[in-house]
Amino acid sequence: MMQFEWPEGATWRVFGVDAFREGPVKIVQVGEIRQLNPPSTWSVHITNHALMPVASVTMAAAVVDINGKVKATQPLIAIKNLKPQQVIRKEIPVRVTVIAPTDRVVFFVKEIKSETGDWKSVDTDVAGLIKAAALQLPVP
Does 1 score more than 50 pLDDT?
no
pLDDT band at 2 (very low <50, low <70, confident <90, very high): low
pLDDT digits (tens, 9 = 90+) for 6-61: 999 999 999 999 988 888 999 999 999 988 887 889 999 999 999 999 999 999 99
4 pLDDT exceeds 80? no
Per-residue burial over 59-87, b = 16 or more CB atoms within 10 Å of its CB, e = otherwise: bbbbbbeeebebeebbebeebeebeeeee
Domain borders along the chain are 14-136
CA distance linking residue 44 with residue 90, whole number of Å:
5
> What's the half-sphere exposure (Cβ side, CA atoms, 13 Å) at 48?
21
* pLDDT on residue 139: 87
Q: Is residue 67's pLDDT more than 60?
A: yes
Residue pLDDT, tens place only, 98-115: 888 899 999 999 999 998
Q: What is the dihedral of CA 115, 109, 131, 104, to 10 degrees?
A: 170
Mean predicted lDDT score pLDDT of the chain? 91
Residues of the chain with pLDDT > 90, as a percent, come to 71
Averaged pLDDT for residues 130-135: 92
Please tell me the predicted confidence (pLDDT) of residue 61.
95
Strands 104-114, 14-16: pairing kind: parallel
What is the topology classification, in CATH, of domain 14-136?
A: Immunoglobulin-like (2.60.40)
User: Is residue 120 predicted with pLDDT exceeding 60?
Assistant: yes
The confidence score (pLDDT) of residue 76 equals 93
Return the pLDDT at 87.
95
